[in-house]
């Protein structure tokens, strides 16, 4: 007896597509509602990557995942969250003391431009362009100050999510791994690369920015740089920019002193910045060489540009991470579905 072939879509396939659409739709809805807490969720994911191995060892000794998760969360709160919160509070207090008036920010630059115009009859930059740049800097400072409430809310969300991630532990990882539609060898490679990238962004980028910002602040205070704390803060932010990095800030400051005829300060600041600010980057990278991923400079640049509007200040960490993951998933797709080799 001949069996009739059904060229249409089977009922099971229709239900499969409908369920997939429902999952995607609910996922988008939940993601939109969770956006105010996205920094906390990503922070919890980062902390989980950093502390998962100690949590596993503690669970093996105690046999109680809940107890292990509680101890890890308390440790993170006491030795990481509270110190970072105090540091953030100090930073915000300092930023509130900065004069965010546009004219005040522009004054040193306009003074240099006027001197160059008088001596050499050259217009370096239009006042309109400078006003636009200063306005962006002002908006950045105000957004950081206004985000203090969101900062502490996301910290609470991060601790709660971290607790449940640690409680789930290996069972949660195995479940999530089972949902990834790829071969086991590629899953292992993906997990290893995600671990390295997360550690690189979570440890390396903030540490470099903080150390270079503190060193710059000391030097700027010593040499009498106008708005020293603001300039140091911007120096720390610019440390994430590859190749040029902190030079974006301290070279114009050296030129400012030189144009004013303050050659002692100009040369002194140049030597201090070249030796201490710039070389601290190489020193920290050497110390963390085994932990830092070999991230392409363009990933860092586009990651920071994309991450700041999405996550605020946390975008310095998570922006490059998202770009790295995006490229990783493209490479996964190529290996899994476009490669001719069977693993």
Per DSSP, the residues of 223-243 read HT-TTHHHHHHHHHHHTTSTT
Per-residue CA distances from 268 to 223, 250, 284 (Å) = 8, 12, 23
CA atoms within 13 A on the CB side of 199: 18
This prediction's pTM: 0.73
Query: How confident is the model over 311-337, as a mean pLDDT?
Result: 75
Least confident of 2-16, 155-169, 176-190, 326-340: 2-16
Please list, in sequence order, all residues whose beta carbon lies within 8 angstroms of the beta carbon of residue 154, skipping any fewer than 6 positions away.
37, 39, 40, 43, 314
Give the span between the Cα atoms of 322 and 194, in whole angstroms: 10
- Percent helix, strand, coil in the chain, to 5, is 85, 0, 15
Q: Which two tokens stand for residue 245?
A: 């990095």
Q: Which two tokens stand for residue 15?
A: 């239900």
Least confident of 41-50, 114-123, 258-267: 114-123
Q: Which two tokens stand for residue 203?
A: 């440890």
Q: Which two tokens stand for residue 232?
A: 């140091």
**Which among 50, 47, 69, 49 is positioned nearest to 58, based on CA atoms?**
69
What residues does each domain of the chain span?
38-100+124-179, 181-335
pLDDT band at 147 (very low <50, low <70, confident <90, very high): low
Question: How do residues 50-99 score in pLDDT, each as one tens digit?
Answer: 899 999 999 988 888 999 999 999 999 998 888 877 877 777 676 666 65
Q: What confidence score (pLDDT) does residue 165 get?
A: 92
């Amino acid at each position: 007896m001949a069996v009739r072939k059904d060229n249409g879509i089977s009922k099971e396939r229709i239900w499969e597509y409908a369920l997939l659409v429902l999952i995607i739709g609910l996922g988008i809805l939940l993601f939109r509602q969770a956006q105010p807490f996205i920094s906390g969720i990503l922070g919890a994911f980062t902390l989980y990557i950093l502390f998962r191995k100690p949590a596993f060892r503690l669970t093996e000794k105690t046999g109680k995942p809940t107890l292990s998760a509680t101890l890890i969360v308390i440790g993170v709160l006491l030795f990481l969250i509270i110190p970072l919160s105090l540091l953030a509070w100090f930073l915000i207090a300092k930023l509130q003391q900065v004069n965010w008036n546009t004219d005040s920010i522009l004054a040193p630059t306009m003074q240099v431009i006027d001197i160059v115009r008088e001596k050499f009859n050259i217009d370096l930059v239009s006042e309109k362009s400078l006003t636009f740049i200063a306005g962006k800097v002002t908006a950045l400072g105000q957004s950081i100050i206004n985000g203090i409430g969101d900062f502490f809310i996301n910290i609470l969300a991060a601790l709660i999510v971290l607790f449940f991630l640690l409680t789930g532990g290996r069972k949660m990882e195995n479940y999530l791994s089972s949902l990834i539609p790829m071969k086991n060898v590629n899953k292992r490679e993906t997990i290893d690369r995600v671990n390295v990238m997360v550690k690189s962004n979570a440890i390396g980028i903030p540490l470099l920015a903080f150390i270079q910002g503190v060193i710059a602040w000391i030097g700027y205070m010593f040499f009498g740089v106008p708005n020293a704390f603001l300039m140091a803060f911007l120096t720390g932010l610019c440390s994430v920019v590859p190749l040029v990095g902190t030079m974006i800030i301290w070279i114009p400051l050296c030129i400012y002193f030189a144009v004013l005829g303050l050659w002692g300060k100009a040369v002194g600041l140049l030597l201090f910045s070249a030796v201490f600010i710039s070389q601290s980057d190489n020193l920290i990278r050497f110390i963390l060489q085994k932990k830092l991923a070999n991230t392409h400079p363009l990933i860092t640049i586009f990651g920071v540009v994309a991450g700041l509007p999405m996550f605020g200040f946390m975008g310095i960490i998570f922006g490059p991470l998202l770009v790295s993951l995006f490229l990783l998933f493209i490479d996964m797709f190529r290996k899994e579905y476009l490669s001719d080799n069977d693993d």
